[in-house]
Structure 1
Amino acid sequence: MQVFVRRFAAAAVLFAVLVVVGTLGYLWIEGWSFHDALYMTVITLTAVGYQEVAPLSEAGRNFTMALLGLGVTSMGIWFALITSFIVELDLKDALRRRRMQRRIEDLSDHIIVCGAGRTGRQVMEELVAMAQPFVAIERDHGRLDVVQRTFPDLLYVEGDATLDVNLEAAGVRRARGLVTCLSAEPDNVFVCLSARDLNQHMTIVARAFEEDTIDKLYRAGADHVVSPNVSGALRMASMLLRPQVVHFLDIATRSQGLSLRLEQAQITADSNIAGKTLAEAALPQATGLIVIAIQKERDDDERFVFNPQGTTVLEPGDRIIVLGQPEQIRSLQRFVGG
């Protein structure tokens, strides 16, 4: 941008010099008034072809031809600068988009966030806090500008999330999960249908305002559906019935000085702690995390072993639920994995 500023400044100086030279030339050659000389200079430099203010002498005609040639050259420089500026902006934008697309193509096991509204931004904040790579899809350029001010390194696809081409551009086939929180309920249903068709194994979480839409989202392929109305009502009731618990959770999850997160991890077959008891694994001592529950592989999704005892055996496929700070949670996968 600084290069173009200098170029435009140089062109402006050149035009100003020609105006001064032309005005002084007509004052000296034709003896006109300052205003007539200035007017004749401007219409000559810009080649507009208006009538001369007075008949020209032979010396005046020669001077006008020379001034006209310099004026056409000056205007050509201006048009060239404007054209190159526009082309440069388009080229920079194209290169920036290409670099971003390459970064997206290098991602795997990432999250796709459809919609960059208030809910989408909250989801992104949590993903950033947990150092989880993600790609946003949003068709509103203004919303993307707002999000980019918060997340300067944001990877995004500008377009309609209901279109397969944009889901593909966001790497839906390589993603581990997708969150759809678009403003229109039918759009969320359509995103679930398209995403499930493109990736059978990813986890899909959808937002629903209307109660009738919840079942449709599940049938469209969503694994989990979140209703702000239901969750908001539960929170309001909890604030009346158990206010100190809600206050503690707010401090634990939102406080600047104390930021706790719940996280899960699956024990692999080649894990160092597979086959050991919880006491032998010494997970709290090694990571500082608190083990809240264990979901055994043989159990269904509704059954958990809460507050597991030290004699609980950790088997391959088991999922452990822990509570701790983000930096402690980041070390969890390395400790649990092989």
Structure 2
Amino acid sequence: MEEYRRIFKQITVSISIILIIFLVGIIGFMILEKWDFFTAFYITAITLSTVGYGMPDNISHATIIFDTILIFSGISVVLYLISSLTALLVEGDFNKIGGGLKMLKRIENIKDHYIVVGGGKTGKYIIDDFIKNNIPYIIIENDQNKIDKLIEKDEYKNINYIIGDAKDEDILFKAKITEAKGLLLTLPDDVDNLYISLTAKTLNPSLYVVSRANSSEELRKLLYAGVDNVILPPEITGKRMALMISKPNVLSFIESTQMDFGEEFGFAEIRIPENSWMVGKELGELELSRSLDIIVMAIRSKGKAQYNPKSNYKIKARDSLMVIGNNEDIEKLRRYVIMAEV
């Protein structure tokens, strides 16, 4: 937002200088020549615009000097304005203002969104996935340069972001922390992630928080602080490398599914609400694979996952269905589960 403040300040300063000079001209003519307001206003206008209509006869020498100073002031201001506006046009700042206003409008209307703290490499991968799956989000980034590098690319021109320190409560409120569903902490400093998670949970106790950590020791601290899930990049990298050696074909299959099946294929977690018509019914009764092009791979209930669930499994409120299949059908399933009855 600092960039927008700079642009608005530049425009405001230019307009303010014009108004001040105009006001000085009106007051000066009213004092020197005892003219009424409208006459002084008119003479000031034609003087600053340098239209060349001429001045009234029999004006004093003091007025001539004052008018000359006013003319040069007007020319200077006009040149300054032209150079400022030209700079704004050349640098594309007007487009930035337009884009910024649109973004502020989007943020104003956003709800049930996810807040991503950090717009670095990790944050970028998160944003890519959110954009692909139409998940509402707001990025909080302290470094304007990182955001500038992102929005240089067409695919990131319409990202939602706030420049500021996420440790500041005011910044979290600007990101609508009380209306957010989740918080993703990607900062390299574990202490920062810990502090932000504590602050965020205080402002929104129901917030689902995911954080990265650099060591298992910090992982425990984050979990004690109320973080719901912690990711260890070194652990993930190590397991991935081991899988490349021990089970290369399995890894190759997992990584190629998106490419093989295309953009219409995906994985999803469908949470069953308490008022869903599915609650109390057996999985086999639903016949999901017949009506929808999806497969239920697992059901997560009370923190435990049951893989390849049996057809006689009874669906409970707050269960999560882990499904794989056509994205359009996955969205249909999302709508089905929230219905009170069918």
Q: Same-fold call, TM > 0.5?
A: yes
Does structure 1 conserve the Cα–Cα contact (< 8 Å) formed by 2:264 and 2:328? no
Give 1:139's aligned residue.
Answer: 142
User: 2: distance between equivalents of 1:288 and 1:162?
Assistant: 44
For residues 119 and 69 of structure 1, do their structure 2 counterparts lie closer, same or farther at Cα, with a shift above 3 Å needed? closer
1:225 matched to 2:230? The reply is yes
Does structure 2 conserve the Cα–Cα contact (< 8 Å) formed by 1:130 and 1:326? no
Give 2:124's aligned residue.
Answer: 121
The secondary structure found in structure 2 opposite 1:330 is helix
The sequence identity of aligned pairs, in percent, is 27
* AA at the equivalent of 2:213: A
Give 1:15's aligned residue.
Answer: none
CA shift, 1:126, in A, is 1.3
Deviations 1:51-77 (A, max 9, x none): xxxxxxxxxxxxxxxxx9998765443
Structure 2 unaligned residues grouped into runs of 5+: 1-68
Deviations 1:192-212 (A, max 9, x none): 111111110011000011332
TM-score of the pair, normalised by structure 2? 0.70
Give 1:334's aligned residue.
Answer: 335
1:273 matched to 2:251? The reply is no
Give 1:180's aligned residue.
Answer: 185
Does structure 1 conserve the Cα–Cα contact (< 8 Å) formed by 2:213 and 2:219? yes
Give 1:202's aligned residue.
Answer: 207
Deviations 1:109-148 (A, max 9, x none): 1111000111111111111222111111112112112322
The secondary structure found in structure 1 opposite 2:178 is coil
User: 1: distance between equivalents of 2:228 and 2:273?
Assistant: 23
CA shift, 1:189, in A, is 1.3
2:268 counterpart (244, 249, 263): 263
The count of corresponding residues between Structure 1 and Structure 2 is 268
User: 1: distance between equivalents of 2:81 and 2:305?
Assistant: 70
CA shift, 1:171, in A, is 0.9
1:112 matched to 2:134? The reply is no
For residues 325 and 208 of structure 1, do their structure 2 counterparts lie closer, same or farther at Cα, with a shift above 3 Å needed? farther
Does structure 1 conserve the Cα–Cα contact (< 8 Å) formed by 2:119 and 2:139? yes
Deviations 1:253-299 (A, max 9, x none): 45683674332122234323333222221222233111011133xxx
User: 2: distance between equivalents of 1:126 and 1:284?
Assistant: 26
For residues 277 and 174 of structure 1, do their structure 2 counterparts lie closer, same or farther at Cα, with a shift above 3 Å needed? same
For residues 293 and 115 of structure 1, do their structure 2 counterparts lie closer, same or farther at Cα, with a shift above 3 Å needed? same
1:100 matched to 2:103? The reply is yes
The secondary structure found in structure 2 opposite 1:271 is coil
Moved more, 240-249 or 214-223: 214-223
User: 1: distance between equivalents of 2:192 and 2:316?
Assistant: 41
Give 2:196's aligned residue.
Answer: 191
For residues 92 and 205 of structure 1, do their structure 2 counterparts lie closer, same or farther at Cα, with a shift above 3 Å needed? same
User: Which structure has the larger Rg?
Assistant: 1
Give 1:323's aligned residue.
Answer: 324
User: 1: distance between equivalents of 2:182 and 2:209?
Assistant: 6
CA shift, 1:101, in A, is 3.0
Give 1:19's aligned residue.
Answer: none
The secondary structure found in structure 1 opposite 2:177 is coil
Does structure 2 conserve the Cα–Cα contact (< 8 Å) formed by 1:157 and 1:170? yes
User: 2: distance between equivalents of 1:86 and 1:216?
Assistant: 50
Matches within 5 A, 1:32-71: none
Give 1:304's aligned residue.
Answer: 305
For residues 111 and 77 of structure 1, do their structure 2 counterparts lie closer, same or farther at Cα, with a shift above 3 Å needed? same
User: 1: distance between equivalents of 2:134 and 2:94?
Assistant: 32
* AA at the equivalent of 1:103: R
Give 2:63's aligned residue.
Answer: none
Does structure 2 conserve the Cα–Cα contact (< 8 Å) formed by 1:289 and 1:329? yes
TM-score of the pair, normalised by structure 1? 0.71
CA shift, 1:92, in A, is 7.4
User: 1: distance between equivalents of 2:138 and 2:313?
Assistant: 39
Q: For the aligned residues, what is the CA RMSD?
A: 3.0
Does structure 1 conserve the Cα–Cα contact (< 8 Å) formed by 2:273 and 2:338? yes
